[in-house]
A and B are shown apart, each in its own frame.
Chain A
Amino acid sequence: MISARVAEVRRVSSTLWRIDLELLEGVDEPKPFTFAMLWIPRVDEIPLSIAKFSRGLVSFIFRVRGEGTKRLASLRRGDFVALKMPLGKGYAPKPRERILAVAGGVGIAPIPRLLDFCKDTGCDVTIVWGVRTRSEYCDPSLLGLDSDRVEVASDDGSIGFRGTAIDLALEVLRNQRFDTAIAIGPKPMLRAFCEKVRAFAISRALVSVETTVKCGLGICGSCYIKQLPKLLCVDGPVFDCHEVEHFLEIPGA
């Protein structure tokens, strides 16, 4: 585990938090969509997408869901935590690859890292972000998402396009060509994405999925993917739509 010190924790919208950590040891540069197991001493160890990474700093965007994330949100500057990172294969687009990234809610978490990676290597990202309502939204710069190409949708139309992230993504797909479309968000959204994206001529349809991760090291087996000889913590969390067909059918978020 890599020790880290909390630099800042702030609430950026009604549902989203951002935590910045100062790394006390060197780590491998994380590919987009890789994740960390963040240990809050004597509280919990939780899997989180890596949102930002630069010069000894790593950031995470999260939602308060259980005891662990509640305690994460209440950490103060100077508190110590530790990380296993980067975990998983993630997804590193090729130079010049044109990517449509579709995020639902807190699914926006790994997108800043994707954008930073593409700025360095020359891939091209268009971002669609869906929220339920305006209060869940925040200025993308607060997430470290420095792009004028974030298209926003809200279920109630209180900000941006009225409709889901998928509805808006389909609009974008009708008008623009992409090599890859990647979605991240709740299971029903990913199911809809995989089903509807088939109508478009893109070479890869990918989803970044979530499941119980306990060890993060490919040993405990908690994060196996239904009917697939793969583990999320080793091979994921990004999979081709066709690989996770059965996994996405299992009820739950």
Chain B
Amino acid sequence: MVVLATEFCGLHLRNPLMNASGVLGFAPEHVDIMASWGIAAIVTKTMTLEPREGYPPPIVVELRNGGLLNAVGLANPGVDSIKELCERARALGLPLIVSVGGRTAREFAETAARAEDLGANALELNLSCPHAKGYGAEIGRNPRLVSEVCKAVCSTVKIPVVAKLGISDKMLESAGRALEAGCRGLTLINTVPAMAIDVYSAKPVLSNVSGGLSGPPIHPIAVKAVYDTYAEYGAEIAGCGGVAAWIDAAELILAGARVVQIGTALARGRGRDVVSRIIEGLASWLETLGFRSLDEVIGLAHRR
């Protein structure tokens, strides 16, 4: 029997799969739904200090190329709402990683401290959302700001902190600054800036006009981001981007990911099927290769 259990930034996980932030994750009912999918840890929606309404619909659209486009606008009930989520996750025996958003280092640190007090097991800093002004990618593509935010958070909380970065020409540098500042790991990547136009009305589809692309089209981009970052820093990485089947997860793991996050593939109630197939697929893949545990293949594609 192969071992899929692993550890990520100090969290013990029964398998290497978690959801990507943004898929459900702000109500206790969501925790129940996600637990039923079989993932090993739950990542909440990005929480901010104060509640955010987000953008009006359309906020998510499916594309003809299998991708998904979204601009939700960091809608969330505010960080205080995670108390109930933590309680529910704890009752189910699942670690809860709180995704934290903010505009300034101070806001990040305050939100992070609150999340820790309310019972978060780890934090994922959203330094990469491509569609909310003043948040996310605006910070993530500026290594100096990444450093500031990560230092502020890591010097405030004791729980593990992971920086989630998106694709940009500063990604590697930002990743290095985040690790230097005390982040235990990285989540790579977020959605990629994108938009869709309806050809009959000749109008942009998302209410926010542009948003972030996820799903199968971005998977190879994620593989390279993980590969390059692992080569540079050998860091603990949560690989994220277009994972729909075990083979997609396997590729990210070979590139250097310790764990894998799934987002788009969980849409339309497919979570349970998708997760169980990926787990079965990874186990039989390891058997085929003659390995006993997942840890043995992390970053294997780098071996010369």
Residues of chain A whose beta carbon lies under 8 Å from any beta carbon of chain B: 1, 3, 5, 24, 37, 39, 41-42, 44-46, 80-82, 84, 214-221, 224-231, 234-235
Contact with A along B47-86 (1 / 0, CB 8 A): 0000000001111111000001010100100000000000
Does the CB pair A217–B27 fall under 8 Å?
no
A-B contact pairs, 29 of them (CB 8 A): A3-B199, A3-B200, A37-B57, A39-B57, A39-B198, A41-B201, A45-B57, A46-B57, A80-B201, A81-B201, A82-B200, A214-B60, A215-B59, A216-B60, A217-B267, A218-B266, A218-B269, A219-B22, A219-B23, A219-B267, A220-B60, A220-B72, A221-B23, A221-B24, A221-B25, A221-B26, A221-B30, A224-B30, A231-B269
Complex partner residue of A215 from B25, B36, B57, B203, CB under 8 angstroms? B57
Bound Cα distance from A42 to B56, whole angstroms: 10
- Does B32 make an interface contact (CB < 8 A)? yes
Chain B contacts of A45 at CB under 8 A?
Answer: 57-58, 207
Are A219 and B205 closer than 8 Å at their CB atoms? no
Q: Quick one: given A44-B57, A218-B267, are A80 and B23 in contact (CB under 8 Å)?
A: no
Chain B interface category by residue count: 35 or more
Distance, CA A224 to CA B84, complexed state (A): 15
Chain A residue at minimum C-beta to C-beta distance from B30: A221
Asked if A229 and B268 make an inter-chain contact with CB atoms under 8 angstroms apart, the answer reads no
- In the complex, B29 has a CB within 8 A of chain A: yes
Cβ 8 A contact of A84, one of B24, B27, B62, B72? B62
A-B contact count (CB 8 A): 98
Query: Do the beta carbons of A44 and B56 come within 8 Å of each other?
Result: yes
Contact of B33 with A by CB under 8 A: yes
List residues of B whose CB falls within 8 A of some A CB.
22-27, 29-30, 32-33, 36, 45, 56-62, 68, 70, 72, 75, 198-201, 203-205, 207, 266-269
Of all chain A residues, the one with the shortest Cβ separation from B23 is A219
Q: Which residues of B contact A229 (CB under 8 A)?
A: 29, 32-33, 36
* Nearest CB in chain A: distance from B261 CB, A: 14
The reply to whether A39 and B60 form a contact with Cβ atoms under 8 Å apart is no
Contact A224 B60 (CB under 8 A): no
Contact B57 A214, beta carbon cutoff 8 Å: yes
Contact B62 A42 (CB under 8 A): no
Partner of A235, one of B56, B70, B201, B269: B269
Query: A84-B61, A217-B62 are known contacts; what are 16 more A-B pairs with Cβ within 8 Å?
Result: A24-B200, A80-B201, A214-B57, A215-B60, A215-B70, A217-B60, A218-B268, A218-B269, A219-B23, A219-B60, A219-B68, A219-B70, A219-B266, A221-B23, A226-B29, A231-B33
